[in-house]
Amino acid sequence: MRKFAVNFGLDSNSFPVAAFKIMHFFTQQPSFTNRKIIFLGLFALIIHSVSAQKPSAIWYRQPARNWNEALPVGNGRLGAMVFGRPADELIQLNESSLWSGGPVNRNPNPGVAKYLPEIREALFREDYAAAAKLTQKMQGSYTEAYQPLGDLLLKQRFSGQPTDYYRDLNIANASSTTRFRADGVTYTREIFASAPDQVIVVRLTADKKGTLNVTAAVQSPHPITKTVAGRQGLVVRGKAPAHADPNYVNYNSKPVFYEDAAGCRGMRFDWRVNVRSTDGTVVADTAGIRVQNATEAVLLLTAATSFNGFDKCPNRDGRDEKQLADSYLKKALAKSVDGLRRDHVVDYQRYFNRASFTLETASVVNLPMDERLKRYAEGAADPELETLYFQFGRYLLISSSRPGGIPANLQGLWNPMVRPPWSSNYTTNINTEMNYWPAEMVNLSEMHSPLLTWVGYMAATGRETTKNFYNARGWTIHHNSDLWGTSNPVGDNGKGSPSWANWAMGGPWLCQHLYDRYLFTGDKKYLRDYAYPLMKEAALFCLDWLVEDQQGRLVTAPATSPENVFITDQGVKESVSVATTMDMGLIWDLFSNVIQASSQLGIDADFRNELTAKKNRLFPLQIGKTGNLQEWYKDWQDEDPEHRHVSHLYVLHPGREVSPLTTPKFADAAKRTLEIRGDGGTGWSKSWKINFWARLHDGNHAYKLLRELLKLTGMEGTDYAKGGGTYPNLLCAHPPFQIDGNFGGTSGIGEMLLQSHDGLLNLLPARPDAWAMGEVKGLKARGGFELDMSWKEGRLTRVAVRSALGGNCRLRLTNTLRGDGKATLKTAEGANPNPFFQLPENRYQTQSPETPADGVWIYDLVTEPGKTYVLLGAI
C-alpha cells in the first residue's frame, strides 16, 4: 500500500485524497464489471489510512514523565512544553527575549591587549604552556542565561483512573492534542502557538455537556505577583534575574540574583491567561481561574517582556510590556477559536508545506513514538521515521525562529531552568551555526533572518572587543554570545579554559551564513547593503589578527581548535598554539567569500586584491602521518583522538575548500580523519558527522550515523563527551537536550539528497542503499533553484527545477535524464557560467567538478527566471 502511494507521487498525508481520486476514476469506467469490489476495497483502504496515525503525528499512550517526553509548540517567540497529564497538566512556558542581565560591558577587562605580543613571542619559541597562561588572561565576563517564563497548571477534577489515553504533536498543523476518558466522558485538550496572533491557545472540551471542571493556575521560578484581571483573567508580573551564572560556574555564593539598583539589568515580564469562551461558570482569584460545569473552555495565554534591544537597559529604557501583553490579548480575544486556529494553520503551513520527503515503506509503523524509537534502535526499518525526523527539524525551526524575532538558542525556544546547561546561550564554535544549517536548503529562508540580523548586533559589540582585546580593526565574537550580543572571550577574567574561551573565529563563521543567504536567494541589495559590509569588517579583523610565522606564512596566534587538546613533542597537553586548521579554514572561507562578493558587486577592487594576496599566503592544509587531515600546526597527537569536535573538517562542511569533486586528495585525508575520530559523539557531534559523510558522498555511512542519532535514550543529566541519541519526544540528546543535533540531522539529510556548494547541483550525492525509492520536493539550491526529485531503484525518474533567478543550472547525477519536450538538456562543458557557482581560487584543487567519472552524467539546463523545467529519467 505504501509503495502504491509513492508510485502516485504522494506524500502519506495525501494518500486518502489519492484513493478517492482513484475510486472516482474506476467508478467512471463503464466497462469495469468489478467496480463494486474495487470500490469497497479502496474504501477500506481509505478508512484504514484515515484511522491510522498519520506519519506527521508523534503520539504516545501515556503522559510525559519528564521534560524530555513533553512536546514542544512555539511561534518563534512564545514556546510551551506540553506534558499531557490528565489531572494536573503542566504546560511549561517560554518567551524568547526573556534572558537574565542587560547590555554588555564592552570593555570588561581593560588593558589585556598588552599580552598579545607576549603570547605570540611565547608561541614562536614553542612555549605553549606560557602562551596558554597569558592567553587565559585575555578573558572577560560570561554570557547571561536564557530564562523560563513559568508554568501553566491545569488541575482537572474527575474521579477514578483515566482510560483511553492519547496525546500527540501533529507537525502537519503545529498543534498538540491530549485526550482521555474519565467518568464516562472523553476530554480533549488542544494546544497551539499562533504566530499571527501572538498567543498560545488551549482549548479544553468534554463530549458530555457540563462535565468539564478545571482550574488554571500559574507559577514561575522567578518572584512574581499575580493579579486578577476582570472575572476570568490572571496577570502575572515579574522580573528576570539581573544575573545568572553558567551552570558550570560554582564558585560564587550567589550564582543568581535579582537586585538591580541601576535599572539596567533584569527585564520585566508580563504574562496573561484569560478564558476566551466557555459555557461553564468562571471565577478567578490569584490561586487560579476556575471553570466549572463547562463543555468547552478556551484559554488564551500571551506574554511580553520589556526587552528593547541588545543595547538598551531592559528596565529603565524598556518597552511597555504591560501594554504589549494587553494588546496581544485584546486582539486575540476578539477572534473566535476557529479563526485563531485557521489563521495559525494557514500561517504555519505556508512555510511547512513548501517541502516534503517520502520514502518507500513496506509497512506503516503505527506505534507511539517511544515504542517506535525503541523498535528502530533494535534495528527495524522505519523510513517514515527518518522522513519525519527531517520534517521535525523544519517544524522546530518554524516554531523557534521567526523573522523579526530572536534566534534559536541552544535549546531553541524551550527551557525550564534558571541556570540551564551552558546558559542555553549562543555557542558559536559549532552549535549556533548548526541550528541554521538547514534553513536555506529546506526552504525556510525567512527563518534564517533572526540569526542574520543578530550578527549585526554581535558585530556592534564585536568591534569594541577587537579594539579592546587585540587593538585590531573590524569585529569578531568568541565562542559564546547571548541576547546582549556578548562578543568577548568569556571565562570571568581568567577562570575559563582557553581551549574554548579564547577561540576568536565566531565572526568569520557567522559571515558564512550571511553569504550563503545571498548565494541561495541572489538578493544583491541585501548583499550590498547588509551582508557585505559586515563580511568586509570581519575580514579586516582577520587581516589584523594574522601574523607571519618564521617561514613568512600567515598564521593565527594564539589559535585553538575548539575544544580539543594536543600533546606536544615533549608529551605535554596544551590547547593554545598557532594556525589551527579550523582557524585557517574559516579565514580562507571568509576571504574567498568577500573576494567573490566584492567582485559581484563591482566594488572594493583594492581590498579584493589585498585579500587575494593574503589568501595565497595562508598557512596551508597539511596531511598528517596517518594520512589524516591535520588539526594542528604540527602533526601532534590529540589528547582524545575521538574528541566530539571535528573542527578541522570545517573545510569539508560547512566550508567548501575540500571536496571529493575538486580536491580528492584532501577529501581522502578528511575521510581518514573521520575514521580516526570514529562514529561516536554527542548529539550535535553525530549530526555534524552525518553532514561530513554526506559531503564525502558516502550515503551508507551517513545513514548509519543517522540511525545512531535517532537511537532512543532515556539518559538524564549531562555528559560532555559521550551519550547522544534522541529522547522520546524526538528532541536531540547531547545530553542534556540541545536542539542543534536536531537541526544538524535535518541538514545532514538535506546534504544526502542535494548539494550545491561546489560548482553544480549534485543530485542524490549521498543516497544510502536504504533509500532506494523516494521523493523529495521543494529542496533549495544555491543560485535560486528549487528542486523536486523522484527516484526508483536509486535512479532519478523525474526532476523538476524551478528557477527563481534564471541562469545555467548544472546538474550532476548517476543516470541519464532528458527534457520532457519543453526543457532542453545539454552535456555540460567547461566551467559553470552561473556566477553563483563560481569556485573560489583553491590551491588544492586538482580537478574540476565536471571531470568525467564512471557512471556520472553532468548536464546543463539553461533557465529563465520564474520557469519550471521537468526532466525525466528512464528506469
Cis ω on the peptide bond leading into residue 246 (within 30° of 0)? no
Burial 126-152 (b: 16+ CB within 10 A, else e): eebebbbbbbbbbbbbbbbbbbbbbbb
Minimum distance from CB of 720 to ligand FUC (Å)?
6
Pull the grid cell for residue 657.
Answer: 575548500
- Summarize the chain as % helix, strand, coil (round to 5): 35, 25, 40
> What backbone phi and psi angles, to 5 degrees, belong to 792?
-140, 140
Minimum distance from CB of 116 to ligand FUC (Å)?
24
> How would you class 6 by CB atoms within 10 Å of its CB: exposed for 0-12, middle for 13-18, buried for 19 or more?
buried
Pull the grid cell for residue 429.
Answer: 564554535
Minimum distance from CB of 737 to ligand FUC (Å)?
11
Residue 272 or 645 with smaller CB distance to ligand FUC:
645
Q: How many CB atoms lie within 10 A of CB 833?
A: 12
Residue 314 or 745 with smaller CB distance to ligand FUC:
745
Residue 20 or 248 with smaller CB distance to ligand FUC:
248
Minimum distance from CB of 64 to ligand FUC (Å)?
24
Indicate left, alpha or beta for 781 from its phi (over 0: left) and psi (-120 to 50: alpha). beta
Residue 30 or 717 with smaller CB distance to ligand FUC:
717
Pull the grid cell for residue 658.
Answer: 575540500
Pairing state between β 785-792 and 288-294: unpaired
Residue 67 or 192 with smaller CB distance to ligand FUC:
67
Minimum distance from CB of 643 to ligand FUC (Å)?
9
Residue 25 or 248 with smaller CB distance to ligand FUC:
248
Q: How many CB atoms lie within 10 A of CB 391?
A: 21
Residue 120 or 734 with smaller CB distance to ligand FUC:
734
Minimum distance from CB of 479 to ligand FUC (Å)?
7
Pairing state between β 761-763 and 807-813: parallel
Residue 728 or 741 with smaller CB distance to ligand FUC:
741
Minimum distance from CB of 722 to ligand FUC (Å)?
11
Contacts with ligand FUC, residue ranges (CB under 6 A): 410, 422, 427, 431, 500, 563, 644-645, 682, 684, 720, 734, 738
> What backbone phi and psi angles, to 5 degrees, belong to 640?
-120, 100
- In whole angstroms, give the CA distance from residue 159 to residue 146: 39
Question: What's the gap between Cα 819 and its chain centre?
Answer: 36
Q: Say which residues have a Cβ less than 8 Å from residue 164's Cβ, sequence separation at least 6.
A: 179, 180, 181, 186
Distances (CA, A) of 157 to 153, 202, 359, 759, 811: 13, 17, 44, 63, 62
Residue 243 or 734 with smaller CB distance to ligand FUC:
734
Distances (CA, A) of 708 to 298, 677, 687, 723: 41, 16, 10, 11
Pull the grid cell for residue 803.
Answer: 528557477
Minimum distance from CB of 683 to ligand FUC (Å)?
8
Residue 322 or 722 with smaller CB distance to ligand FUC:
722
Minimum distance from CB of 500 to ligand FUC (Å)?
6
Residue 178 or 486 with smaller CB distance to ligand FUC:
486
Minimum distance from CB of 75 to ligand FUC (Å)?
25
- In whole angstroms, give the CA distance from residue 358 to residue 97: 36
- In whole angstroms, give the CA distance from residue 26 to residue 780: 37
Residue 4 or 720 with smaller CB distance to ligand FUC:
720
Minimum distance from CB of 72 to ligand FUC (Å)?
19
- In whole angstroms, give the CA distance from residue 507 to residue 539: 9
Minimum distance from CB of 804 to ligand FUC (Å)?
35
Give the containing element (helix H, strand E) for 595: helix 581-601
Q: Say which residues have a Cβ less than 8 Å from residue 703's Cβ, sequence separation at least 6.
A: 752, 768, 769, 770, 771
Minimum distance from CB of 140 to ligand FUC (Å)?
17
Residue 175 or 685 with smaller CB distance to ligand FUC:
685
- In whole angstroms, give the CA distance from residue 761 to residue 684: 26
Taking alpha carbons only, the member of 301, 343, 127 closest to residue 204 is 301
* Partners of 277 in beta bridges: 298
In contact, 763 and 813? CB cutoff 8 Å: yes
Residue 719 or 864 with smaller CB distance to ligand FUC:
719
Q: How many CB atoms lie within 10 A of CB 819?
A: 15
Minimum distance from CB of 434 to ligand FUC (Å)?
9
